[in-house]
Amino acid sequence: MGMESAIPIEWVENPRARTIAASEAVDANFPRGIFEQTRSFHRQIPGYQISPLRNLSNLASMIGVGGIWVKDESVRLSLNSFKVLGGSFAIYSFIKNQLGLEGKDLSFGQLISDDTRAKLGDLTFATATDGNHGRGVAWAADKLNCKAVIYVHKDTSQARIDAIAGYGADVRVVDGTYDDAVRQASVDAEANGWQVISDTSWEGYEDVPKWVMQGYTTMLSEAQEQVAGQGMVKPTHVFVQGGVGALAAATVGFYSARFGQDRPTTVVVEPATAECLLESARIGDGQPHAVGGDLQTIMAGLACGEPSPIAWGVLWDCVDAFLACPDYVAAKGMRVYATPLAGDPFVVSGESGAVTLGALMFVAEYPEFSDLKDYLGLGPDSQVLLINSEGNTDPDEFRRVVWEGANSVPKEYRWANA
């Protein structure tokens, strides 16, 4: 636990998910009408555009699946990540709550108006981040003329810190892990009367993380329209990143609410050094479990040792398999996206964005994972949805991997040996 292995994929199946027709956790977090509400809010944000769905048809043919579809969040609102969808909707929902407007519409124009600002008084939003969530919260706070205090852990790159500070936020470095930064943000917010906008939950703090997860579903609503435009009812498989579990819960929650037991087969992929979701599935008592260690990984956005309890409830009910991968799997995904087969589009994908593609390729191509491949029903009829959750958010690290070949695949797992 917390130690990186040379094996490309460690996995735990969750057959329980296939026995659940309706999940109470999904109903609680994604009530009827919420997908339309989040989409309606995001549509009003200046500069909003639907992010592209990329079709890697030639790579799909090469690895023996029917299709690979990539929801490309690297171009979301010029912020290089999907995270702004969650942070902005959570702040919107919090302000509606403060103004006593739950269940009523509040336009983006009203949200940022002087009138609303006067009613709210001085607001400061605080959060911990591995980079992208903090940037999204800082951006949203800047739009609302509010203050933001963003906590990062000691291994956060200067590029990520600068990107957050660029929106006027006060960035504070915590000598510890992401989970330590979460705790420090909570302590300081309590002492200073700030409002925490976190994507992870804890006892007594569940509304905001729920709103964050709901905000992410705009991306899935868009993807569902785009997939339907290709003549499919839905993807057959979804591979999604796992950090605290909020993105994964939003993804599987969206499809569970839409399709029930007929949802796509869902796979969650984490770093091998921060595999808290896989560990929770392995223990199998229905509770979230933390992993220790320094959580070191190039997948900075996924370096989380403690699951979000409300996200875990959704994942435990609905995810078919949990995978943990070493850094070289993410690095391989970055290079494949950056050097596509002739005819496939080029995709700029950061470390956390690319791990699902790397994992899919190992599952599809390597005989030693045939049991997992069979369990997932992955084959020539499979239409696989991936989420490129971030673009090039750390240029030095990106060049180290893509230009210089850092975190290379060990010799025994290179493509020629597949």
What does the DSSP assignment read for 88-154? HHHHHHHHHHHTT-TTS---HHHHTSHHHHHHH-S-EEEEEESSHHHHHHHHHHHHTT-EEEEEEET
Give yes or no for a contact between 77 and 42, defined as CB atoms under 8 angstroms apart: no
CATH number (domain holding residue 194) = 3.40.50.1100
Residues 326, 214 share a domain: yes
**How many other CB atoms are found less than 10 A from the CB of residue 397?**
21
C-alpha distance from residue 71 to each of 111, 206, 208, 235, 369 (Å)? 29, 28, 25, 12, 25
The β-bridge partners of 72 are 388
DSSP H helices in 260-393: 276-283, 309-318, 327-338, 351-365, 370-376
Phi then psi for 85, rounded to 5 degrees?
-60, -40
- Determine, yes or no, domain membership for 257: yes
Amino acid at 25: A
Domain assignment present for residue 4? The answer is no
**Whether residues 16 and 90 fall in one domain:** no
Our answer to whether residue 373 is catalytic in this structure is: no
Do 236 and 336 lie in one domain? The reply is yes
Residue with tokens 């790579």: 59
**pLDDT of res. 1:** 43
CA dist 111 to 36, 49, 91, 102, Å? 18, 20, 10, 14
pLDDT for position 144: 82
* pLDDT string in tens for the chain (418-residue length): 444 558 999 999 999 999 998 999 999 999 999 999 999 999 999 899 999 999 999 999 999 999 999 999 999 988 889 989 999 999 999 999 999 988 888 888 888 888 888 888 889 999 998 878 899 999 989 988 889 999 999 888 898 899 999 999 999 999 999 899 999 999 999 999 999 999 999 999 999 999 999 999 999 999 999 999 999 999 999 999 999 999 999 999 999 999 999 999 999 999 999 999 999 999 999 999 999 998 999 999 999 999 999 999 999 999 999 999 999 999 999 999 999 999 999 999 999 999 999 999 999 999 999 999 999 999 999 999 999 999 998 999 999 999 999 999 999 998 765 5
Q: Are residues 249 and 329 in the same domain?
A: yes
Query: Is 308 among the domain residues?
Result: yes
**Is 2 inside any structural domain?**
no
User: Based on the domain organization, do 43 and 114 belong to the same domain?
Assistant: no
The residue to which tokens 């025994």 are assigned: 412
Residue 212 and residue 199 in one domain: no
Q: Where are the beta strands (DSSP E) in 175-320?
A: 195-196, 237-241, 265-271
Catalytic residue among 71, 72, 96, 130: 130
Q: What pLDDT sits at residue 3?
A: 47
Given 204, 226, 244, the domain boundary residue is 204
Residue 344, classified by CB atoms within 10 Å of its CB into exposed (0-12), middle (13-18) or buried (19+), is buried
Contact between residue 318 and residue 263 where contact means Cβ atoms under 8 Å apart = yes
Is 276 found in the same domain as 376? yes
Tell me phi and psi for residue 10, to 5 degrees.
-110, 140
Residue 414 has what DSSP assignment?
Answer: S
> Catalytic residue at 154?
no
Specify if 66 maps to a domain.
Answer: yes
pLDDT of residue 107: 87
The Cα–Cα gap between 241 and 269 comes to: 5
In the set 71, 83, 96, 210, the catalytic residue is 83
Predicted local confidence at residue 2, as pLDDT: 45
On whether both 90 and 173 belong to a single domain, the answer is yes
Q: What is the pLDDT of residue 416?
A: 61
Query: Is 138 part of a structural domain of the chain?
Result: yes
* Structural domain for 199, as ranges: 83-204
DSSP assignment of 12-72 equals EE-GGGGG-SS-HHHHHHS-TTHHHHHHHHHHTSTT--PPPEEE-HHHHHHHT-SEEEEEE
